[in-house]
Structure 1
Amino acid sequence: MTNQTQSMLRLLLLALVLCPFWAFSQTVFYVSLNGSDTNPGSRTKPFASIDKALVAARRTAGPVSIRLFGGTYHLTQLIRFTAADSRKANEPLALTSTDNQPVTLSGGAVLTNLHWKEGSNGIWQTPIAQDLIFDELIVNGQRQRMARYPNYDPSARFLGGTAADAVSAERAARWKSPDGGYVHALHRAEWGDFHYQITGKNDKGEPTLEGGWQNNRRMGMHVRHRFVENVLEELDTTNEWYYDKKAKILFFKPPKGLALKAATFETPQLTHLVEFTGTEANPVKNIHLSGLTLTQTIRTFMQNREPLLRSDWTIYRGGAVLYEGAMNCSLANCTLYNLGNNAVFFNNFNRDCQVSGCLIREIGASAICFVGDPKAVRSPSFEYNQFVPLAQIDRTPGPKTTNYPADCKVYDNLMFDLGYVEKQSAGVELSMCQGITVSHNTIYDLPRAGINVSEGTWGGHIIEYNDVFNTVKESGDHGSFNSWGRDRYWHPNKRVLDSIVATNYDLALLDVVKPIILRYNRMRCDHGWDIDLDDGSSNYLIYNNLCLNGGLKLREGVGRVVENNIMINNTFHPHVWFKNSHDVFRHNIVTTGYLPIGITNWGQEIDHNIFPDSVALAQARQRGTDQHSVYGDPQFIDLGKGDFRVKDGSIALAAGFKNFPMDSFGVVSPRLKKLAKPVPQPTLIKLDKVGDTESIQFMRATVKNLTTLEERSATGMDEARGVLVVCVPIGAEAAKFLQVNDVILSFNDKKINTLRDLFEARLLVIGSSTNVVVFRNQKELKQEIELHEKR
C-alpha cells in the first residue's frame, strides 16, 4: 500500500468519525392529503396521516424524516410525541415539509353544507349540521368578531373599544338569553385583564357572572374599560357573528363584496396542535419540527386561573405547541398565527430545547412561555399579600427539584400582534425556570411586556440583542422588559420587608441564584418604562442597552449593576430602594434628570454618568450622587438613522462610556428581517436649549414657557408662570383637554412653571389617566384625562 493510499484512507476514516452516521443514511417517510395509510410511506406512495408515519418511525433505526406534501392538514386530534418517539442524538426525528412546499397544520374544521338565507338588517343565517365547538369564526383565513358591545373600534386603546354600561341592567334588558356570553375587562389598576362568562340575569335584571380569576391581584374589573360579546342582540355591524348552540344556527353579518356561498368558513376545534409529553425520568428527546405553519386553536381565557407565585400573572399551561419533559427538541422556521391561546409553552421539566427562526403573530395570549413546577420552589407564596414568616423560611439556596425548564433558547423569532384576547401576556414569559437565553428576537405590538420575568426563580437568563417596542399598548404601569422579584423573603408590608432585608440580606438572593443579564437590547415603550425592574427584582447585570423612550426603572431589590446604557428622552427612575441595596448605576447616558420616588439611600455607586445639562446634574449632586458625573451634548453620530453611538471626542467617552453596536438588534434571518416593522425613531428633546421664545411638542401640541407681558395679558395670568399652549392640531391627543391660549399650571399633581416641569411630570405618570389644571377664561379648570400617548 502506497503512502498516498494510506493518507487517503486516513482522511476517509477521519471524515467518518467527524461526520455523523445520519448524514450518510436517512429514512424518509412521506405523508400526503391524497395518500393512504395502507401505503408504504414512500414518495410515490405516501401515508395519509402523520400518526401512521410516527408509528413507522418508531420501528426504524437511524435518522428519520417525516415529510409532508403541501396543503392544509385539518387535525381532528393533536399530534403527540411521547418517550416512545425519542431518538438518539445522532438519530433524530424531523417533521417537516417536502421540498419546502407550504404545509399548514390547522386545528380548525371547515363548515360544510351551508345554506345561507338573508334576514333583517343585513344579517345572514345558516343551519349547521356538524357537531362543532364555536369559539371563533374564520372566514377566508380572517378571524371575525363575536357579536359585541360596544362594537370593535381599531382606534380605541383598550380592548378594541369599551363602555362603562356594558354589563348594566339597562344594557342587559336588550338581551333575551345572554347565557354563554362573555364579559372582558381591564384590571381595575390596568395590570392585565379579567374575563367572565354570563350565566343569566339576577332579580335586578343585571347579568350574573362567573370568572374573574385571570389576574393574581384580584381587585375587580375596571369601571370603564369593559365589553361584552357572544350576545345575539349585539350583532349589529359587519364581520360580527353569533352561534345559537341550541338551535344550531350561525348568524353572520358579512362585509360588502363577500361571496358567502364561495367563502370558506372554519372554526377552531383543538386547544393544542402538537404536544411533547415526557417526564424527567423518561423524556422525549431529539425531535425537530421545521418549515410548518400552525394555525387555529381555541381560546383559553376561562382556563387561565393558576397563580404564578407572587407575580401579577395567572397562567394556562398549554399552547399550540406544548413541551413537557422534552430534551434537545426544537421548533424552527415555522409560522404560528391565528391561535386563540399561547403559541408555544414549555411546561415543567425541559432541557436544551430551542425555538428559532419562527414568525409568531395574531396570538390570543403569549408567544413563548417557560413555566416550572411550584413544588420546585422553596417557601413559595402565591398572592401578593401572602408571606412566609421569617423564622419559617427555608434558607437553602435554589430549587428543591429539577422539574422546571432550563438551558433553553429563544433565538431569531419575529413576534407581533400578540395578546388579542389575554392582556396579561408577553412575547416571552419566564417563570420558575433557569438559564433561558432570549436572543435576537423582534417583538412588538402587544398589550403588556415584550419580555417578562415573573420572579427571581432561578435566574441565569441571558436577554440580549432583542428589539422590543410598541409595548404596554393595552395596560399600564409596566415596561417593554418587565420583571418582579417577589421571592421567598417578600413581605407585603414595606416596613417589615425593609427590616427583613436589613438584617437578612442574603435572603433576597436565595432564589435568583444566578445573575440575570440584559445586554445589547433596543427597547421602546410609549406607555411605561423601556426597562422596568419592579418589586424586589434582584441580581441583575444591565449593560449596553438602548432605551428609546421610557427610560429605566429600579424598584426595591438588591445587587443590580446598571452601566453603559443610553436613555433617550428619559432617564433613571429609582423607586423606594432598600437601604442596603448595593445597587450600581454608572457610565450611563441620560437625557433628562433622574426622577426618584421615595429614595433615602442611593446604593453602592451612582456616579460617572452623562447628563444633558447643568440643571439635571446639579439636582443629582444635591441628592449626594454623581460627584464625578458630567453634563453636555453626548454628540450622537446619526439620530435620524438611529445610530446613538457617540463621536470621537464626546464628553461621554471621557466619562467612561463605551460605544456598542447599533446594527445588531432583532432578528437575523433575511426572511424575518424583511417582514419586521422598523422601530419608531425618537426626536431628541433638549430642554436646556429651549429659550424663552422657543417651543416644543407635547403630546403633539405646541407649548412654550409663558414669559412675556403680552402673553400674560392675552391669557389673563397674574404673573409669568406656567406653560402656554400655542397650537393644538385637530386629532392630537392633547386636543382632548387643551385649547390654544390655555396655560398649564399643574400636571399629574405636579406644579408646572417651566417646560422642564411639564416634561418631567409627564414622565412620572403611571397608568393611562391623570389630571391637569389649566388656566382658561380667567379661571382655573381641573380635568381628569385619559392618556394614549407617552408624550
Structure 2
Amino acid sequence: MKRTTRPRITLLSCLLCLLLSSNSFAKELYISSKGNDKNPGSKEKPFATFKRAQMALRSIKGATTVYVRGGTYYLTAPVIFTNLDSRNSGEGVTYKSYPGEQVKVSGAKPLQLKWEAYKGLVKQAKVSGDLSFDQLFLNGKQQRMARYPNFNPDIRFFGGAAADAISPERVKGWSHPDGGFVHALHKHEWGGYQYLISGKDGEGKLTLEGGFQNNRQMGMHDKYRYVENIFEELDTAGEWYFNNREKILYFYPQQKTDLTKAIIEVPQLKSLFEFRGTEQQPVKNIQIEGMELSHTLRTFMETKEPLLRSDWTIYRGGAVVMEGAENCVVKSCFFNTVGGNGVFMSNYNRNNLVSGCHIAFAGASGVCFVGDPKAVRSPSFEYGQFVPLNEIDRVPGPKTNNYPANCTVENTLMYGLGSVEKQVAGVEISMAMDIKVSHNTIYDVPRAGINVSEGTWGGHLIAYNDVYNTVLESGDHGAFNSWGRDRYWHPDYAVMAGIAKDNPALITADVIKPIVIHDNRFRCDHGWDIDLDDGSSNYHIYNNVCLNGGLKLREGFFRTVENNVILNNSFHPHVWFNNSGDVFRHNIVTRNYFPIRVNDWGKEVDANLFPDQPALAAAQQAGTDAHSAFGDPGFVKATIGDYQVKPGSPALKLGFKNFPMNQFGVTSPSLKALVVPVKLPVLISEMKAGGQESYEFLGAKVKNLNTLGERSATGMATETGVLVLDVSKKSVLYGKLQPNDVILKFNDGAVKNMKDLMTIQMGLQLSQKATVEVFRNQASKKIEIALK
C-alpha cells in the first residue's frame, strides 16, 4: 500500500498562522536585539528586526502595539512604510520602547578596529569594507573631522573661523585636500554655504563644488569660514581623519581614552524611518514612540532645492521622513545628534503629529513642513525673479493638494540645531497650510527658531512657544522670522506698490488664511524677536512677550499687532505701503518707535503705552498714537519674568489685557527638567546709576563705573561711564574692547551709565557698524565695531 505524504505542521508554524490571521488574538508584537526573525514575535520569542514585525503586521487587523525591547538596533537600511502598512482608523499600530527600557535606533555601523601608534598621540587603524566616513562617534559622543581652525565652543561663528582657511599659502601644505569641505557664512551672514574640495591647482588654489545651500547667491564670507577633513590639520584631541585611498582611520584621542574598549560608530544612513505614500494611496495611522534616533549622515551637500523666493534651499530628508502620510505620529523620541533634519514632512501630509520629542544638536533643522512648488500658482524661485503681471495666475490658493496641512509639532524641546548648516530653524514652514506649532522650547540656534518661508498658504498657529538664543551665527533675522515674497511681491518696491494698489486681490492670493502668533516668548540678541520681512501679510500677533529685539513689520498688508509686551525695545515699521491695513494697538513698548520710510501708518496705530513723554511725543509728531499714554507699566515682577501689570497700570486704561506668563514652552516634566532657561533682561528703566550690578552688553560683561577703586584702576578723572569687566569670545566686541576699558561714547552719544548705553544701542538696531569711544591706557580711543 502506498503511504500518503502529509505536510509537517510544526507548533511554531501553527502559532505564527494564528498570530497573523486572528483579529482579536494578536494585539502585541515584540522585537528584541536578541530575538530571531523566525520567532512568532511574542514576548517570550520576539522578532529581531523592525522589518520582520512590519511584514507580520500586514496580516494583522486591529490596533496593535509593537514593543521594542531595550538595546541598540543598527539598521542597514531605513524602515520604509508604504500604503501596504496603512491602518484603518481605530486600528493603528504603535512601535514603542518597552516600558522602563531604553531603545536606540542607529543608522551607524559599529567598527571592530585594531589600533596602532602613528605619530605622537595620533593612532591609526585599518578599516575593511566600503564605508561612508562622514561622522564618527566614540562611546556615543560625536568627534570632529580634522579641521582648521580648531573647534572652540566659546567662539561665535562655527566654533572657530579664519580668513586664511583656504588661502593658497595654507593649501600648499595639504597633500590631498580632495574630499575635504569648506564651510562658510553667506557674505551678508544670511545663512551659509558648503563646498566639496575636488582638488587644487599648481598655485595652491582649491577647486570647489557646491555653494548651492543658499537661495540668495552672494558668495561666501571673506572671514567666517573653516575647512574640515584635511589630514594635515589633524592636530588636536578629539579630531579624526579617514584616508579613503588607503582605508586607514587616524584618530587623536582625548587623554585617558582606552581605544581598545571604545565603541566606534560611523553613520551610514540618511534616514531611519520613512513614510512613503501618496495622496491617492497614503500611509495611515502609524506611530513611532519613545526611542532614541541617532547616527544619520550629514546631508549638507544635498541641500539644493530652492524654496521659492525665500533665502532657503532644502534637502527633503531627515531622520524621519513623511511623504504621503495621514494621521501618523512621532512621539517622545530623542533625536540625538542626527546629521541633517530631525523630522521632514514633504509634500502631501495630513493630520500628522510630532509630540513630546527632544531634538538636540541636529546638523540642520528640527521639524520641517515643506510642500510641492508645483502646487503653487505662478511660483518664482529666486529673490530677483518675478512672473510678469499679465501672466500671473490669479486664482487664490494652491493648485493641488500636494503639501502639508493640519499637521502639528507640539511639546518638543529643540536646541543646538544647525551644527552643520546655518540656514535652518527649529521649525521650518514652506508651501503648507494650517500648521500648528505650540508649546515648544527652542534655543541655541544659528538662525530663526521658527521660520515661515512665504505666505503660501497661511492658517498657521504659532502659540505658547519659548524661543531664545537665536540668530547666534547669522544676522538680519529674528527669533520668529517670515518672508512674504508671494505672487504680488516684486523686488522693486515702486513696481510692487503699483501692483498692490491696482491688484489688491493678489495680496492674499497665496496667504489665503491669517497666520496667528499668540502667547509666545521670544528673544533675539542679534536681530528682532519677531521679524515679518519682505511683504509678510495677513498676520494676527497678540499676547507675546518680546524680551530684547523688538518687533518688525516690513512691507506687507493686513497685520494686526495688539496686546504685546516689548521689553527694552519697540516697534520697527519698515517701508510700508499706502493703505496697508496694518494695526498696532494696546501694546506696551519700552522705547520710542523706529520707523524707516513710513509715510502712511496703516489703519490704526494707537492706544499704546510708551515709557516716557519724549517717546510718546515723537510718535504723535509722526501722526500716530493720538490716544496713547506714557508711564511705568507696573509689571508684577519683571525679575522673574512676570510681565503682567498691576491694577492701576496706565496700560490697562488703554485697553491692554493681562495674559499668563507661565505657559511658554514644553509642558512635559521630563522635558522641562532638561531646559536651559532663557536669560531674562534687566529692564533699561530699572538700571541703576549706582550700586555694583553687572550687566550684559553685546556679549560683554559691563557695569557702571562708580567706585573710587575703579576710577583709580582705569585712570579716569571722575566716576562716570561704563566699565568693561570681560569680553566673551562669542561677543561682537571680542578683539575690540578689553577688560578695564571705560565706554564714554556710543555713536557720539554720551554714556554716563549703563542706562545711557542701552538706550543708545537699542536705537541702532539696524546698524551694521557703530563707533565706540573708550578710555584706555590714560587716553580716549575710538573703535569701529559691527553690531550684528
Q: TM-score, normalised by structure 1?
A: 0.91
Residue 102 and residue 602 in structure 1: after superposition, are their counterparts in 2 closer, same or farther (change >3 A)?
A: same
Displacement of 1:66 in angstroms is 1.6
Deviation by residue 1:516-569 (Cα, 9 ceiling, x = unmatched): 000000111111111111111000000000111111111110000000000111
Q: For residues 455-604 of structure 1, what are the structure 2 equivalents within 5 Å? A: 455-604=454-603
Q: For residues 265-414 of structure 1, what are the structure 2 equivalents within 5 Å? A: 265-414=264-413
Displacement of 1:119 in angstroms is 2.0
Deviation by residue 1:736-785 (Cα, 9 ceiling, x = unmatched): 445767664553xx766887775355235568952315276899855332
Separation in 1, partners of 2:688, 2:37 = 75
Partners of 1:769 and 1:784 within 8 A in 2 = no
Displacement of 1:641 in angstroms is 1.5
Separation in 1, partners of 2:434, 2:645 = 33
Separation in 2, partners of 1:98, 1:285 = 23
Partners of 1:715 and 1:741 within 8 A in 2 = no
**Aligned partner of residue 310 in structure 2, secondary structure:** coil
Tell me which residue corresponds to 1:727: 723
Separation in 1, partners of 2:444, 2:72 = 28
Partners of 2:572 and 2:595 within 8 A in 1 = yes
Separation in 2, partners of 1:364, 1:290 = 22
Separation in 1, partners of 2:767, 2:36 = 58
Residue 752 and residue 458 in structure 1: after superposition, are their counterparts in 2 closer, same or farther (change >3 A)?
A: farther
Q: Moved runs in structure 1, 4+ residues, more than 4 A?
A: 22-26, 687-691, 694-699, 714-717, 732-736, 738-746, 750-758, 764-769, 775-782
**Which 5+ residue runs of structure 2 have no aligned equivalent?**
1-21
Partners of 2:727 and 2:737 within 8 A in 1 = no
Q: Which deviates the most, 574-583 or 149-158?
A: 574-583
Deviation by residue 1:112-149 (Cα, 9 ceiling, x = unmatched): 1x111122231111111232110000000000000000
Identity value in percent: 55
1:42 aligns with 2:38: no
Partners of 2:684 and 2:759 within 8 A in 1 = no
Tell me which residue corresponds to 1:144: 143
**Aligned partner of residue 675 in structure 1, secondary structure:** coil
Displacement of 1:97 in angstroms is 1.9
Partners of 2:744 and 2:775 within 8 A in 1 = no
Displacement of 1:669 in angstroms is 1.3
Partners of 1:307 and 1:313 within 8 A in 2 = yes
**Aligned partner of residue 727 in structure 1, secondary structure:** strand
**Aligned partner of residue 633 in structure 1, secondary structure:** coil
**Aligned partner of residue 673 in structure 2, secondary structure:** helix
1:215 aligns with 2:211: no
Deviation by residue 1:61-100 (Cα, 9 ceiling, x = unmatched): 2122222111000000110100000010011111112234
Displacement of 1:684 in angstroms is 1.0
Tell me which residue corresponds to 2:9: none
Residue 745 and residue 79 in structure 1: after superposition, are their counterparts in 2 closer, same or farther (change >3 A)?
A: same
Residue 263 and residue 735 in structure 1: after superposition, are their counterparts in 2 closer, same or farther (change >3 A)?
A: closer
Partners of 1:637 and 1:646 within 8 A in 2 = yes
Residue 724 and residue 536 in structure 1: after superposition, are their counterparts in 2 closer, same or farther (change >3 A)?
A: farther
Separation in 2, partners of 1:751, 1:506 = 47
Tell me which residue corresponds to 1:700: 701
Residue 609 and residue 441 in structure 1: after superposition, are their counterparts in 2 closer, same or farther (change >3 A)?
A: same
Deviation by residue 1:427-474 (Cα, 9 ceiling, x = unmatched): 000000000010111111111111000000000000000011111111
Displacement of 1:347 in angstroms is 0.3
Q: Which amino acid aligns with 2:47?
A: F
**Aligned partner of residue 462 in structure 2, secondary structure:** strand
Q: Which deviates the most, 618-627 or 140-149?
A: 618-627
Partners of 1:532 and 1:553 within 8 A in 2 = yes
Displacement of 1:501 in angstroms is 1.6
Deviation by residue 1:397-450 (Cα, 9 ceiling, x = unmatched): 100001000001111111111110011000000000000010111111111111
Displacement of 1:506 in angstroms is 2.4
1:662 aligns with 2:665: no
1:759 aligns with 2:755: no
Separation in 2, partners of 1:558, 1:781 = 46
Tell me which residue corresponds to 1:58: 58
Partners of 2:516 and 2:541 within 8 A in 1 = yes
Separation in 1, partners of 2:80, 2:508 = 39
Partners of 1:743 and 1:774 within 8 A in 2 = yes
Displacement of 1:393 in angstroms is 1.3
Separation in 2, partners of 1:364, 1:580 = 43
**Aligned partner of residue 375 in structure 1, secondary structure:** helix
Q: Which amino acid aligns with 2:727?
A: G
Separation in 1, partners of 2:575, 2:744 = 29
Displacement of 1:786 in angstroms is 4.3
Separation in 2, partners of 1:704, 1:533 = 39
Separation in 1, partners of 2:464, 2:535 = 25
Tell me which residue corresponds to 1:720: none
**Aligned partner of residue 322 in structure 1, secondary structure:** strand
Partners of 1:367 and 1:418 within 8 A in 2 = yes
Displacement of 1:582 in angstroms is 1.0
Residue 695 and residue 345 in structure 1: after superposition, are their counterparts in 2 closer, same or farther (change >3 A)?
A: closer
Residue 761 and residue 383 in structure 1: after superposition, are their counterparts in 2 closer, same or farther (change >3 A)?
A: farther
Tell me which residue corresponds to 1:75: 75
**Aligned partner of residue 52 in structure 1, secondary structure:** helix
Aligned pair count reads: 752
Separation in 2, partners of 1:131, 1:315 = 28
Tell me which residue corresponds to 2:95: 95
1:132 aligns with 2:128: no
Q: Which deviates the most, 490-499 or 579-588?
A: 490-499
Separation in 1, partners of 2:378, 2:482 = 20
Separation in 1, partners of 2:507, 2:640 = 42
Displacement of 1:700 in angstroms is 3.2
Q: Which deviates the most, 425-434 or 736-745?
A: 736-745
Separation in 1, partners of 2:774, 2:146 = 44
Q: Which amino acid aligns with 1:309?
A: L
Deviation by residue 1:638-660 (Cα, 9 ceiling, x = unmatched): 11221110001111111110000
Partners of 1:96 and 1:292 within 8 A in 2 = yes
Q: Which deviates the most, 89-98 or 352-361?
A: 89-98
Displacement of 1:724 in angstroms is 5.9
Q: Which deviates the most, 600-609 or 766-775?
A: 766-775
Separation in 2, partners of 1:590, 1:391 = 43
Displacement of 1:259 in angstroms is 0.6
Partners of 1:310 and 1:381 within 8 A in 2 = yes
